[in-house]
Structure formats: C-alpha cells, structure tokens
Amino acid sequence: MPCSIMDERHAAVTRQQNRRLKRGINSMEWGMANRMAQVIQSDGHALFLPVDHGYFQGPTRRLEEPRRTIYPLLPYADAIFITRGVLRSSVDPDNSKPVILRVSGGTSMIGKDLANEGITTSMEEAIRLNVSAVGISIFIGSDYEKESLLNLSKLVDEGEKYGIPVMAVTAVGKELEKRDARYLALSCRIAAELGARVVKTYWCEDFERVVRGCPVPVVMAGGPQVDSELEVFEFVYDGMQKGAIGVNLGRNIWQNDFPVAMIKAIRAIIHQNATPKEAQQLYSSEKGGE
C-alpha cells in the first residue's frame, strides 16, 4: 500500500482517538493526566505488555524466567503490567518502561475459585515503586462479583487521592466461553461506572458494542495463545478499527516462537495502523532476525 494512503488513514484514526482521549485528560488533575500520558502515547494508542500471569498461574510457559522474557520485548512496549515481586526481582529500575502494577490476587489455578481475589498491594507501595497506574481484576457474574467490584471501588478511591489511574481487568477465570459482546459490554461498563480510568477486556465478535458502552479507553487482551499469528493481527486490527486504544497482550506475544517479531508487528497495527496483511509481512521479515 502506498505510504500516503496508510499515513492518511492513520492520521484520521489518530485524530479521532486523540479527541476522545484528550476530552478525558483535560478534565484530570495534573498528576493523573501525566500518569495517563505515560502509559497512553501521544497518538492516543497504547501497547501494554502483561507479564503478571504468574500471580495465579505460577511459572507460565515461556515466562518461567521473567527477566529473559521481558528484556527483549521491553523496547517495543509502552508499559508493562506486572506484580511487585517480578518488578523488583526482574526489572532494573534504571532500565524500565512505565509500570502498571497488578495489585489484585490471593488465588491460584488449583484453588477453589479464581474470582475470590483481594487487594494484594497497598497504594503506598505503588507510590514507593513509582508506578504509572495500578490494575485489578473484576469478576462479573461470579460468586465474588460484589467483593471484586468493591475492591475496584476502594482502589479507585485510593488512586484518585494520589493521582494514580486504575486499570480494571474484566476477568473470566477459567470460563473463557464467557467472552462475548453482551458479557464484556456489561463488565466494561460497570468497571467504568465505578471509576476505572482504563478497562482491559477481550476482543470479541461485535466488539464495537463493547467500546460504545464504555466511556473510558479500552485495551484488548489476547487470552491463551491462538492458532496463527494472522488470527492475532486480525483481531487486534478489528478491535482498533472499532475503537479500542490498544492492547494488553501477553501470551500471544511471548509464547510465540518469535516474540520480538510478534511485538513489532502488533506495534505496527497499534501505532502505524498497519493492516493484518502488512503486520504478517513485517512478522515474516523480522522473524528471520531472531
């Protein structure tokens, strides 16, 4: 595709996203606006790299040694989503990216119910770690719906006091089949109503319905690794066209055989409005170098 057409398409999408984002940012206090701008780039888009999976999954495949997974990918991420333990042990304070601190947990894959989370990390600790945002899961429709929503509300109260944005994660636990537009729209809207500044959800069919009902920026997670790279490029592209501001995409990047090629291709969709085909071409040419 000629550069000028791609640039023009990118510029149009960017203008639209910027307007949306700036509306929010203009009404924020300086500290909150500054932290939001650390994680969401000036084009209004964002690539968050989640490496928090160990907090309930243990040594997840290809995240067994977090430092080895994180460092090759860090240059291409706008922010990392991470627990305090992995942050302190596996990320150098003088060589990092903006941090979104995972502050909910207390459950495991083999425990009774993944939804039964509490807040694991205080706001004081988040400030001490100089994070840009904090993240917490909510479990709509679960036995612990109310607890997880009240946890979110408390965290928002604390975060607003110190100018720290809260990202709500619309978690489904082991019930991956829940990920449809009706359920995700419900979850995202509730998260926004309770004060989340950003909502992380899953891509789904009719994704525009999810974004339309959510008055704060939405980022997409990937869930377990899918069959092909193209499938990832297609859902990320589709979600962006339908109003997501970016991704919080983990396993489909770092469980890929060529994770650097993968993150570069995803980055091109998010920040250069590359099509799935262009992303696939970039992936194919970059994987030779890994």
For residue 127, the minimal CB distance to ligand 5RP (Å) is 22
88-95 contacts, C-beta under 8 A, 24 or more apart: 88/129, 90/66, 91/67
Residue 198 pairs with which residues in a beta bridge?
167
Element (H, E) at 185: helix 181-193
Element (H, E) at 32: helix 30-39
> Which phi and psi angles does 80 have, rounded to 5°?
-115, 145
Q: Could you tell me which stretch among 9-17, 37-45, 50-58, 275-283 binds ligand 5RP (CB under 6 A)?
A: 50-58
**Of residues 197-256, those binding ligand 5RP (CB under 6 A):** 221-223, 248-252
Tally of CB atoms within 10 A around 6: 15
For residue 200, the minimal CB distance to ligand 5RP (Å) is 7
Residue 200 a catalytic site member:
yes
For residue 223, the minimal CB distance to ligand 5RP (Å) is 5
Query: How many residues at the interface with ligand 5RP, by CB under 6 A?
Result: 13
For ligand 5RP, which is the closer residue by CB, 50 or 239? 50
Please select the residue that binds ligand 5RP; options are 21, 40, 123, 169, rule is CB under 6 A.
169
DSSP designation for 81 = E
For ligand 5RP, which is the closer residue by CB, 14 or 116? 116
d(CA 39, CA 237): 20
Q: Which of 100, 93, 104 lies closest to 79 in space, CA to CA? A: 100
DSSP designation for 264 = H
Strand pairing category for 218-221 and 79-82: unpaired
Please select the residue that binds ligand 5RP; options are 40, 44, 49, 52, rule is CB under 6 A.
52
For residue 3, the minimal CB distance to ligand 5RP (Å) is 31
For ligand 5RP, which is the closer residue by CB, 50 or 243? 50
**Of residues 78-137, those binding ligand 5RP (CB under 6 A):** 81
> Active-site residues: which are they?
200
**Which residues contribute to the site for ligand 5RP (CB under 6 A)?**
50, 52-53, 81, 169, 221-223, 248-252
